[in-house]
Structure 1
Amino acid sequence: MSGQIEARLAELGVTLPQAAAPAANYLPFTRSSNQLFISGQIPMGPNGLEFQGKLGDGYGVEDGQQAARLCAINLLAQAKAALGDLDRIVRLVKIVGFVNCAPDFGDQPKVVNGASDFFVAALGEEKGPHARSAVGAASLPFGVAVEVEAIFEIA
């Protein structure tokens, strides 16, 4: 039987993918006391890497929001791999969103809303709201448009 968070994901039409293996010498997640730190996730979809490019130069805010949402889905996949049960999440503490963008692009917060809005919908009003940063970057790994990392409080 699935828990409350997985039931919300099903209502949203989201099936979590298999958690991706790290692409270099790092851990996909690490636990410290009651916190789960998840390494930055990129927009890997069912057909491979998606959203490769720059915001403000080929991609608009809505594209970036979809990329950030996909990153958030992958973060939950990592959380499930780490915890076995997403209902062990007490709350999302913080996310950091990196946006690959043109020098004059200033809508990083709007882009990262794609992840923030998804987390609130998936985790609910008590567990989903979080602190965050939205940072512009000159480039990101594999040329992706967005990368997001997360810190969860866990039981």
Structure 2
Amino acid sequence: MVAGKGAQAASADRRLQDLGIELPAVPTPFGSYVETVKTGNLLFLSGMLPVVDHKPAYVGRLAGDLAVETGRSAAYTAALGALAAAKGHLGTLDKITRIVRLGVFIATLDESINQPKIADAASDFFKEVFGIDKLAVRSVIGVASLPLNVPIVIEVTFEIAI
């Protein structure tokens, strides 16, 4: 929430509440790795999948099985999981001082699709929660396949207050 001159923006946790968004359960790994690692003032997240209750909520590839809007929904679901993982590690999203990097991997067919528009669903969600001044640099990469046949995986690096 953008506040008037001299006022502070609402905290990320409060912003989620104001938006009526409840984070899902903290994601759990599908293999031999951890979801989050903190080093110094950075919190790295493993590839976040669009899962609900530890099951893929979306499967297939964009421009083939799935439409762009479905890809955007999958990106949003993965972003929710990313915030759940960060909050699970930090206890609060208010310790996040910046989103440093957002990597978006999209399973596509050879045909051209609007990959940036799909990735924007995650970026726009983070902008709503943290504000435009905390937006990340971003890479969007089309790939042939992703784990569990999901259409999208996001990787996030957060800067945190220590």
**Match in the other structure for 2:143:** 137
Which deviations, in whole Å up to 9, do the C-alpha atoms of 1:73-101 show, x marking residues without a partner?
A: 10000100111111000010111001011
Identity, % of aligned pairs?
38
CA distance in 2, matches of 1:33, 1:130: 18
CA-atom RMSD, angstroms?
Answer: 1.5
| Residue 36 (structure 2) pairs with residue 29 (structure 1) | yes
Distance in structure 1 (CA, Å) of the matches to 2:160 and 2:89: 11
2:57: which partner in 1? 50
Q: Say whether 1:16 aligns with 2:14.
A: no
Q: 1:9 to 1:46 in 2, by over 3 A?
A: farther
Deviations 1:98-135 (A, max 9, x none): 101111133221111110000000111222x1101000
Q: 2:98 aligns with which of 62, 83, 91?
A: 91
CA distance in 2 between partners of 1:46 and 1:27 (Å): 17
Measure, in 2, the Cα distance between the counterparts of 1:27 and 1:46. 17
Contact (CA 8 Å) 1:52, 1:144: kept in 2 or not? Answer: yes
> Which has the higher mean CA deviation after the structures are superposed, 44-53 or 131-140?
44-53
Letter in 2 for 1:134: V
Give ranges in structure 1 of 5+ residues lacking alignment. Answer: none
Return the letter of the residue paired with 2:142.
Answer: G
When normalised by structure 1's length, the TM-score is 0.92
Q: How far 1:47 moved relative to its partner?
A: 8.5
1:40 to 47, 70, 76: 47
2:78 to 66, 71, 80: 71
Any unmatched runs of 5+ in structure 2?
Answer: 1-9
Runs of 4+ in structure 1 displaced over 3 angstroms?
none
The 1-side partners of 2:72 and 2:53 are apart by: 18
Q: Which has the larger radius of gyration?
A: 2
Contact 1:98 1:137 in 2 (8 A): yes
| Structure 1 residue 20: Cα displacement | 1.3
Q: For residues 92-111 of structure 1, what are the structure 2 equivalents within 5 Å?
A: 92-111=99-118
